């Protein structure tokens, strides 16, 4: 198992190389570059040339990329073209806020979607089942910026219960953005949980368990839910990736100082070091989460763990 | 039963589409219909006089289009320790000489001073207590004594020399403002002599710009990354959270006396509606740049005041002079007569704008008030279109847009020109892409819509009109205009300067490479207990004396 984890971590190296090269090429192909952003409106050709030389834009793209990778090997992700701040420090300064919001939204989503999915599967074709379907569709179709503004109007302005934005009031600040993000995530996991449970609930071994006198609660939670875990873990993993990757829309509406907005602003400003650095760090972060999901499979289903171990034996 | 439920849900969803599109029905807004039958909201205030209405009196004074809001707290009144400003501008710039962008002025007005400042249209003393023009190209400034930087160092002439020499090397807006300075001398510790390359009547205006503020040589040398944040202003920067907020703390050794408020938080709210909600919710005391559709909410709130002002920003339509199709003047005039400027006021600005006549600033020196905009006349448009050799529907123009405003205007322009028999294809880009595609030496656009701002000095026309500059979006080389601009900047006779600038505007109007569309109104929302604000018509608001009365 350890070897499997180590191999997956080693894959990060070619992934980072590929991702960084792609970003450089895409940013170079996009119309406009940082020179257009930084140069004053009445800049002369000499001023533009001066700016190009100071930022290395007088060199070909491959040379710029190789210089960047050379620095990256020493742990230097470069500085933002816009404000000169270290890319790594800028990202790490914003990451805690993103993790806070992401985890809060994730727990809200899971607290609603998994029980709802289980109940819907148990009461198939009932009002509860239909209601959960409607709720899921509403969650998927409602634009998050609209939902966020409505919640802000009601709970912040009309009722005065919660702040409208920012991260200055601790738990109170996180409620509205987390609920907004969480509701939009609920739909997918609810439906997946319901489908996975329905597949398992028809199984013979559950009939056997009931015949043995196992309480219904244990039948559902231990036996049925345990065997339905694999697709649920996949869905939960995807939602976790969405939560922890940063949501630019939620961060914009609620003025939340996360990494989502950091990346969007960097792309709009053609701030190549910031874009490259943020995406590389995000790639590492996401790869680790995906690895955790794969490890979770192994613990949810011993047959999968056996496959991972069998590969080791073969080699 | 299930079918009935399904149909009911479908009906509810369909009704939901109409609910989402209805107006908010506030009693102060009436509606009017455009020719297309669309219903739009009337502007929030009476525009019969075509002037924005800001509550007169009540401590609000008009200084040539900028507003001074209750500059002094009432005698003996207690003020809060902290004031919170919600801004539409993301704070990213920590070195005012490296980059200049929207909102930069607001931050550095708190922390820095220049040799001189601007009060409306008047140059006022700041770090220089006096100055004199020795000859056409020589200015001598005498510095105040005992002025402290935030790091405790005293301001000396060497700091001025350091600041200006550093600015000139940056290749930024600061460099442009000081481009006419040939050399600088410091005969003694408190005297600075500027030697210009040629006479420049706008040099004081340039020096009043925030990018020409004075830095501490020691601070920048010791800390090249953050040393530029050290200034002589009434506030120091306690925290700079890039893209999020700036926290200012009062500098008690400020040369002009300590200001009323201890701490000012300048917080970025990207979403307009969220910023207004925060103001209504008393989370912020000032809301910079509320969205047009939210102005009525501020007016309706008895705890708040909306300060509306005529911005120096102008939205315009331009032709690429190097394009073979639009280089035909008949095509340009056909378009000019086909644009209904009154209708365009509603596309993005909700009527909170005033049609522009001449391509010049409303407060800019040398404005030619004789020039009137081309009237909306489809008959005249058809005449010029025919003279250009196009029948109805034969001409297609490409319209490039890069800003949110231009993108909202584009379909309206397209619709208007279609009525005149001119087809328009819209080419949308983001800001960086737009800048790249409209560079002077490699522009690919045929026509575009964009916005510009006008300074009070006549030479601010150079940005849009002088050949060779990337800000000249018409890619237009007119030797007469270049000569007039280069001559006027050095002309000491004011009447002659005015004549030159007025001739420039006449040429621009006659050649029609630029069609000015409108000047827009902007606004700021403030809590009624807040004062000490200078609402600047160029959006370089000054909050250095802000206060909020205690409850």
Distance from B71 to chain A by nearest Cα, in Å? Answer: 29
Say if residues A270 and A109 touch (Cβ distance below 8 Å).
no
Q: Where are the alpha helices (DSSP H) in B112-257?
A: 157-170, 173-177, 203-207, 217-222
A40·B434 Cβ contact <8 A: no
Is the separation of the CB atoms in B37 and B511 below 8 Å? Answer: no
What values do phi and psi take at B60, rounded to 5?
Answer: -105, 120
Tokens 């939204």, located at residue:
A105
Structure confidence at residue A310 (pLDDT): 64
Q: Within 13 Å of residue A211, how many CA atoms lie on the same side as its CB?
A: 5
Q: What is the pLDDT of residue A43?
A: 75
Could you tell me which residues come within 8 angstroms of residue B130 by beta carbon, excluding any fewer than 6 positions away?
B141, B142
Angstroms from A266 CA to nearest CA on chain B: 11
Specify whether the CB–CB gap between A195 and A187 falls below 8 A. no
B149-184 pLDDT, tens digit each:
999 999 999 999 999 999 988 777 888 889 899 999
Which of A271-285, B446-460, B501-515 has the largest mean confidence?
B501-515
Percentage of residues in chain B having pLDDT higher than 70 = 92
Q: What is the pLDDT of residue A30?
A: 81
pLDDT at B241 over 70: yes
- State mean pLDDT over B134-162: 96
Q: How far is CA B205 from CA B122, B213, B380, B472, in A?
A: 9, 12, 42, 21
- Whether B19 has a pLDDT exceeding 70, the answer reads no
- Closest chain A residue to B430, measured at CA: A268
Shortest distance, CA A257 to any CA of chain B (angstroms): 6
Using 50, 70 and 90 to split pLDDT, how confident is the model at B55?
low
Give me the mean pLDDT over the A291-311 stretch.
75
Contact A32 B432 (CB under 8 A): yes
CB B430 within 8 A of CB A268: yes
The sheet carrying B191-196 orders its strands as B128-135, B138-143, B191-196, B181-188
Share of chain A above pLDDT 70, in %: 97
Mean pLDDT to the nearest integer, B29-36: 32
pLDDT at A46 over 90: no
pLDDT band at B385 (very low <50, low <70, confident <90, very high): very high
pLDDT band, residue B541 (cuts 50/70/90): very high
- Given this model, what pLDDT does residue B121 score? 77
Contacts of B93 in chain A (CB under 8 A): 82-83
How far apart CA A278 and CA A269 sit, in angstroms, is: 14
Q: Bigger pLDDT: A9 or A96?
A: A96
pLDDT > 90: percent of chain B = 72
Residue that is written with structure tokens 């550095």 in the block = B108
pLDDT per position as a tens digit, A135-182: 888 888 899 999 999 999 999 999 999 999 888 888 999 999 999 999
Q: Does A142 touch chain B (CB under 8 A)?
A: no
Instruction: Return the residue matching tokens 């003393």.
Output: B125
CA–CA gap between residue B501 and residue B244 (Å, rounded): 42
Mean pLDDT rounded to a whole number for chain B: 89
Q: CB B431 to CB A165 under 8 A? A: no
Using a CB-CB distance cutoff of 8 angstroms, which residues of chain B are in contact with residue A269?
432
**Within 10 Å of residue B248's Cβ, how many Cβ atoms?**
28
Question: In Å, how far is B393's CA from the nearest CA of chain A?
Answer: 31
Is the predicted pLDDT of residue B28 greater than 60, yes or no? no
Q: What is the pLDDT of residue B38?
A: 29
Q: What is the mean pLDDT of chain A?
A: 86
A126 close contact with B: CB closer than 8 A: no
Name the more confident of B302 and A218.
B302
Flag if A33 and B267 touch (Cβ within 8 Å). Answer: no
Q: How confident is the model at residue B125 (pLDDT cuts 50, 70, 90)?
A: very high
pLDDT attached to residue A210: 83
Q: B466 to chain A: which residues are within 8 Å by CB?
A: 42
Measured distance CA(A103)–CA(A218) in Å, rounded:
28
Contact (Cβ atoms closer than 8 angstroms) between residue B143 and residue B129: yes
Mean pLDDT of B245-260: 95
Query: Does the beta carbon of A40 lie under 8 angstroms from any beta carbon of chain B?
Result: yes
- Best of A45, A255, A268 to mutate (most B CBs within 10 Å, chain B): A255
From A157, A160, A269, residue closest to B432, measured CB to CB: A269
- CB B496: neighbour CB atoms within 10 A? 12
Q: What pLDDT is stored for residue B47 in this prediction? A: 30
**Exposed e or buried b per residue across A117-134, where buried means at least 16 C-beta atoms within 10 angstroms of its C-beta:** bbbbbbeeeeeebbebee
Q: Is residue A202 pLDDT above 60, yes or no?
A: yes
Is A33 at the interface with chain B, CB within 8 A? yes
pLDDT of residue A311: 55
Residues near B184 by Cβ (< 8 Å), separated by ≥ 6? B160, B161, B164, B165, B192, B193, B194, B195
Global pTM?
0.85
Chain B interface, mutation test: which of A29, A32, A143, A274, most B Cβ atoms within 10 Å? A32
Phi, psi at residue B244, to the nearest 5°? -125, -60
Considering only residues B75 and B185, tell me which one the structure prediction assigns the higher pLDDT: B185
Instruction: State the pLDDT at residue B23.
Output: 40
Question: Do A47 and B463 count as a contact with CB atoms less than 8 A apart?
Answer: no
Q: What percent of chain A has pLDDT over 90?
A: 24
pLDDT by residue (tens digit) across B201-236? 999 999 999 999 999 999 999 999 899 999 999 999
Whether B432 and A156 lie within 8 Å, measured CB to CB: no
Residue B525 pLDDT: 96
Q: Do strands B422-428 and B395-401 pair parallel, antiparallel, or not at all (unpaired)?
A: parallel
Q: Could you give the maximum distance between any two Cα atoms of chain B, in Å?
A: 95
CB B191 within 8 A of CB B86: no
Which helix (DSSP H) or strand (DSSP E) does residue B527 occupy? strand B514-527
Mean pLDDT value across residues B365-371: 94
Distance CA B160, CA B185 (A): 10
- Which pair of tokens denotes residue B112? 């820095």
Q: How many CA atoms lie less than 13 Å away from B140 in the CB half-sphere? A: 10
> Looking at the partner chain, which of B273, B429, B431 has a beta carbon nearest the beta carbon of A149?
B273
For residues B478-488, one letter each, b for 16 or more C-beta atoms within 10 angstroms of the residue's C-beta and e for the rest, the string is: beebbebbeeb
What does the pLDDT read at residue A96?
92
Residues 210-249 of A with CB under 8 A from B: none
pLDDT at B76 over 70: yes
**Distance between CA atoms of residues B230 and B214, nearest Å:** 9
Mean pLDDT to the nearest integer, B406-422:
96
pLDDT exceeds 70 at position B31:
no
Is the CB of B175 less than 8 angstroms away from the CB of A85?
A: no
Residue B521: strand pairing partners: B310
Contact flag A32-B435 (C-beta cutoff 8 Å): yes
Three-class SS of B414-461:
HHHHHHCCEEEEEEECCHHHHHHHCCCCCCCCCEEEEEEECCCCHHHH
Report pLDDT for B304: 95
At residue B39, the pLDDT reads 26
- The complex scores an ipTM of 0.84
Distance CA B378, CA B298 (A): 40
Name the minimum distance, in Å, from the CA of B136 to any CA of chain A: 25
| Higher pLDDT pick, A85 / B385 | B385
Helices (H), ranges, A202-271: 204-211, 216-218, 225-227, 229-244, 248-253, 259-268
For residues B373 and B516, is the Cβ–Cβ distance under 8 A?
yes
For residue A33, is it left (φ>0), alpha (ψ between -120 and 50) or beta?
Answer: beta
CA dist B546 and B251 (Å) reads 14
| Tokens, residue B372 | 């009137």
The minimal CB distance from A51 to the residues B93, B171, B431 is found for B171
**B247 close to B236: Cβ distance less than 8 angstroms:** no
CA distance A259 to chain B (A): 11
Instruction: Judge contact between B529 and B320, C-beta under 8 A.
Output: no
| Number of Cβ atoms within 10 Å of the Cβ of B239 | 11
CB A256 within 8 A of CB A167: yes
Residue A149 forms contact with B (CB below 8 Å):
yes
- A contacts of B94 (beta carbons < 8 Å): 83-84
Q: By C-alpha distance, which of B467, B460, B506, B463 is closest to B483?
A: B467
CA distance B105 to B91: 11
A32 contact B CB<8A: yes
Please report the pLDDT score of residue A295 as a whole number: 83
- Segment B283-296 shows an average pLDDT of 94
Tell me how far apart the alpha carbons of residues B207 and B544 are, in angstroms, rounded to a whole number: 19
Tokens 């109940």 correspond to: A119
Hey, what's the torsion of the CAs at A294, A300, A306, A308, to 10 degrees? 10
CB B401 within 8 A of CB B407: yes
pLDDT in tens, A243-255: 888 788 999 999 9
Nearest chain A CA: its distance from B75 CA (Å)? 33
Assess whether pLDDT exceeds 80 at residue A308: no
Option in B5, B100, B273 nearest A40 (CB): B100
Per-residue exposure over A284-312, b if at least 16 CB sit within 10 Å of its own CB, e if not: ebebebebebbbbbbebbeebbeebeeee
Helix (H, G, I), strand (E, B) or coil at B68: strand
Taking CA–CA distances from B174, the nearest residue in chain A reads: A40
Contact between B140 and B198 under an 8 Å Cβ cutoff? The reply is no
Pairing mode of beta strands B514-527, B447-453: unpaired
Do B421 and B427 meet the contact criterion of CB atoms below 8 Å apart? no
């Amino acid at each position: 198992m350890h070897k499997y984890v180590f191999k997956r971590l080693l894959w990060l190296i070619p992934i980072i190389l590929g991702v960084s090269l792609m970003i450089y090429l895409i940013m170079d192909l996009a119309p406009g570059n940082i020179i257009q952003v930084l140069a004053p409106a009445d800049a002369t050709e000499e001023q533009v040339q001066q700016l190009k030389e100071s930022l290395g834009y007088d060199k070909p793209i491959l040379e710029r990329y190789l210089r960047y990778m050379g620095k990256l090997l020493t742990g230097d992700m470069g500085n933002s073209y816009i404000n000169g701040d270290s890319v790594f420090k800028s990202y790490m300064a914003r990451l805690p806020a993103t993790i806070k919001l992401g985890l809060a939204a994730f727990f809200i989503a899971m607290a609603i979607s998994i029980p709802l999915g289980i109940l819907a599967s148990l009461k198939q074709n009932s009002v509860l089942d239909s209601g959960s379907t409607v709720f899921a569709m509403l969650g998927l179709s409602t634009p998050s910026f609209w939902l966020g503004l409505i919640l802000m109007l009601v709970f912040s302005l009309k009722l005065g219960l919660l702040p409208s934005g920012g991260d200055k009031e601790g738990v109170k600040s996180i409620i509205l953005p987390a609920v907004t993000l969480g509701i939009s995530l609920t739909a997918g996991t609810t439906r997946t949980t319901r489908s996975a449970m329905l597949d398992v609930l028809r199984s013979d071994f559950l009939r056997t368990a009931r015949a043995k006198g196992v309480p219904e609660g244990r039948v559902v939670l231990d036996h049925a839910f345990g065997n339905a875990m694999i697709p649920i873990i996949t869905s939960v993993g995807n939602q976790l990736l969405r939560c922890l990757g940063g949501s630019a829309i939620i961060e914009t509406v609620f003025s939340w100082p996360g990494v989502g907005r950091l990346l969007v602003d960097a792309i709009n400003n053609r701030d190549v070091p910031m874009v490259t650095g943020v995406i590389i760090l995000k790639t590492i972060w996401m790869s680790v989460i995906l690895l955790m999901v794969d490890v979770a499979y192994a613990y949810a289903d011993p047959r999968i763990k056996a496959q991972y171990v069998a590969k080791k034996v073969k080699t | 039963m299930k079918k009935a439920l399904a149909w009911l849900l479908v009906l509810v969803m369909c009704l939901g589409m109409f609910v989402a599109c209805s107006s908010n029905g506030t009693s102060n807004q009436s509606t009017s219909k455009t020719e297309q039958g669309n219903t739009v909201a009337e502007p929030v205030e009476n525009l019969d006089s075509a002037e924005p209405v800001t509550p007169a009196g009540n401590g609000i004074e008009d200084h040539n289009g900028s507003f001074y809001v209750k500059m002094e707290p009432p005698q003996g009144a207690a003020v809060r320790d902290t004031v919170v400003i919600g801004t539409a501008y993301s704070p990213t710039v920590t070195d005012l000489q490296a980059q200049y962008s929207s909102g930069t002025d607001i931050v550095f007005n708190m922390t820095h001073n220049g040799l001189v400042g601007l009060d409306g249209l008047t140059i006022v003393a700041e770090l220089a207590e006096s100055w004199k023009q020795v000859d056409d190209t020589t200015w001598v400034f005498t510095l105040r004594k005992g002025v402290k930087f935030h790091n405790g160092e005293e301001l000396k002439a060497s700091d001025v020399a350091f600041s200006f020499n550093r600015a000139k090397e940056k290749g930024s807006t600061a460099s442009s403002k000081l481009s006419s300075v040939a050399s600088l001398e410091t005969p003694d510790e408190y005297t600075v002599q500027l030697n210009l390359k040629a006479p420049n009547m706008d040099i004081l205006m340039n020096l009043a710009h925030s990018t020409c503020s004075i830095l501490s040589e020691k601070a920048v040398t010791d800390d090249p990354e953050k040393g530029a944040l050290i200034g002589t202003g009434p506030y120091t920067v306690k925290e700079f959270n890039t893209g999020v907020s700036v926290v200012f703390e009062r500098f008690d050794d400020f040369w002009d006396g300590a200001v009323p408020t201890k701490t000012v938080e300048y917080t970025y709210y990207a979403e307009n509606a969220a910023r207004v909600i925060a103001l209504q919710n008393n989370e912020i005391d000032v809301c910079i740049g509320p969205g047009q559709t939210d102005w009525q909410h501020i007016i309706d709130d008895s705890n708040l005041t909306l300060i509306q002002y005529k911005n120096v920003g102008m939205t315009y339509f331009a032709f690429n002079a190097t394009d073979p199709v639009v280089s035909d003047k008949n095509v340009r005039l056909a378009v000019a007569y086909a644009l209904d400027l009154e209708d365009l006021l509603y596309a993005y600005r909700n009527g909170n704008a005033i049609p522009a006549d001449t391509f010049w600033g409303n407060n800019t020196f040398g404005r030619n008030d004789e020039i009137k905009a081309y009237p909306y006349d489809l008959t005249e448009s058809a005449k010029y279109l025919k003279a250009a050799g196009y029948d109805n529907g034969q001409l297609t123009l490409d319209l490039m847009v890069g800003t949110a405003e231009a993108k909202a205007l584009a379909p309206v322009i397209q619709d208007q020109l279609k009525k005149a028999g001119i087809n328009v294809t819209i080419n949308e880009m983001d800001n960086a892409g737009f800048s790249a595609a409209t560079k002077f030496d490699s522009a690919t656009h045929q026509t575009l819509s964009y916005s510009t701002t006008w300074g009070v000095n006549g030479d601010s026309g150079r940005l849009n009109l002088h050949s060779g500059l990337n800000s000249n979006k018409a890619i237009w080389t007119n030797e007469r205009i270049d000569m007039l601009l280069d001559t006027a900047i050095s002309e000491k006779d004011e009447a002659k300067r005015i004549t030159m600038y007025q001739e420039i505007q006449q040429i621009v109007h006659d050649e029609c490479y630029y069609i000015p569309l409108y000047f827009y109104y902007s606004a700021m929302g403030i809590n009624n207990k807040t004062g000490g604000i200078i609402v600047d018509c160029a959006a370089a608001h000054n909050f250095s004396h802000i206060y909020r009365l205690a409850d």
